[in-house]
Amino acid sequence: MAMPSRQYRRSHGFTLVEMMVVMVIAAILAGVAAPSFSKAIASQRAKSAGTDVYLALLKARSEAIRRNAVVTLAPKTGGWQNGWQIVNPGDATDILEDHGAASSVAITGPTSVVYRPSGRLQAGSSVSFAVTVGTGASASSHCVAVELSGQPYTKSGTSC
């Protein structure tokens, strides 16, 4: 009489030890990647806030040329990080744009930016904004400045 042959079935999946090793490796990689990821987030937020200021400057210049009138870009009470408005100084109720506060962003700049009907800044004006997000090693800065022609530009870093 022949003995029945036993077939061993191999189970599929991972053992608990294998899963724990993978989890430890993933935790180590996440710990190493986290600081550089927070730097990337701060950099993107600074760039985004800088772009908002850049677009506001472009709109103010465009409105001054279009209306053939003086147009002012001014911060709201408390500074640029609390938002800004583009207004027609001849009619203070004529608010062309109202931008809200930028959360967790520090924006420093002039008391206001005044565009003449030609699209140029008022004589003797030098305009630059420093946009900073975060502190310490994860801090990131972006610069927005205006050329003599009135055209704004942006660049990374604090020096304009």
- Which contacts of 95-104 are long-range, i.e. CB under 8 A and separated by 24 or more positions? 96/59, 96/60, 96/63, 96/71, 97/56, 97/59, 99/52, 99/56, 101/76, 102/49, 102/52, 104/45, 104/133, 104/134
pLDDT value of residue 5? 61
Question: What is the tally of structural domains in the chain?
Answer: 1
Question: What pTM, to 2 d.p., does this model score?
Answer: 0.75
Examine residue 118 and state whether it is found in any structural domain, yes or no: yes
* CATH label of the domain that carries residue 77: 3.55.40.10
Examine residue 145 and state whether it is found in any structural domain, yes or no: yes
Examine residue 150 and state whether it is found in any structural domain, yes or no: yes
Mean pLDDT by 10 residues, the chain (160 residues): 63 84 90 77 87 93 92 90 87 82 86 91 82 78 88 80
Domain that holds residue 79: 56-160
pLDDT mean across residues, the chain: 84
Examine residue 129 and state whether it is found in any structural domain, yes or no: yes
Examine residue 35 and state whether it is found in any structural domain, yes or no: no
Examine residue 36 and state whether it is found in any structural domain, yes or no: no
